[in-house]
Structure 1
Amino acid sequence: MINAEFQSLLVKLIEHVPVFAGLTPQELHELLSGAERRRVAAGQAIMRQGDSGRFMCILIDGQASVSKQGNGHFTRHEVGMLSRGDCFGEMALVDPAARSATIEAATDCLLIRIQESDCWRNPAIASKVYRNIAVILAQRLRDTQELLIQRGLPAQSESAGLAS
């Protein structure tokens, strides 16, 4: 049985964290039952580009910077900031490739770390989570294409099947 205060927290997570959209409070409780809660001090890396991992994180409190280093380059470039409710590392649940960016705590952070195995315990929950991940990744692709267009760079290749 879920108490009223915890139920209220679950509903807030569902409303404000896109990867949890469409889950019931009971489904979210089941998903999070195996999740790890972590505190990360400002300046510490949460995950590094090139590392492996089969988990994603939800930023519950704080801010984190996203940076990337191009192949053959030594300089990292900040490409974004994450704040409360943002998820990261979700591509690792879909594709076992190395992490594509470094995430570093810009402030003290509280996050929830969800293992791929936590998602697959219940196929109904998994289908909702993976659909939400697909929506998030599709929006990021659209945003990247728009940014490339604004910078005067080719945003997509029709022959590569990247049209949305």
Structure 2
Amino acid sequence: MYLVTVLGNLLIILAVISDSHLHTPMYFFLSNLSLADICFISITVPKMIVDIQSESRVISYFSCLTQMSLFVIFACMDDMHLSVMAYDRFVAISHPLHYSAIMHPCLCGFLVLVSFSISLLDSQLHNLIALQFIYFKDIEISNFFCDPSQLLNLACSGSFRNNKVIYFLGIIFGI
């Protein structure tokens, strides 16, 4: 399934790049979404496959933070790209005569850059929460996947405020 997902998304990217008829904002956003999907699935699945083969489900704290950062970046980018694509379709349906003036290449690039920047900010907020717990530095977590809620469950105290921040970020991105 991993290879099918990666190859399918690569085919979408190659089709958009190779055909000049597909050089429109909709396909530009679709190829960016495909790239984010490739990165998103490549964060956890290869580690999971290695862990299944070696029968080990241990991840170090540093690897956990790295995996969590990249996972949050690409998960958020997926959501942001879908929002940008919805805006693109809204403009195409609501203002068809002004579509090319509204969705020009500079705006498309800016929207992708903003989605990456917001994703990076969200990831850094999750990292700041996880880095508060300095006593995790030398432990290994017995799971192939690491997310902020899992680290907060390992914390002995003081996680209520951090849980509120994570829920607040989830609500903001849900809206």
Between Structure 1 and Structure 2, the one with more helix by share is 2
TM-score of the superposed pair, with normalisation by structure 1? 0.29
TM-score of the superposed pair, with normalisation by structure 2? 0.27
Between Structure 1 and Structure 2, the one with more strand by share is 1
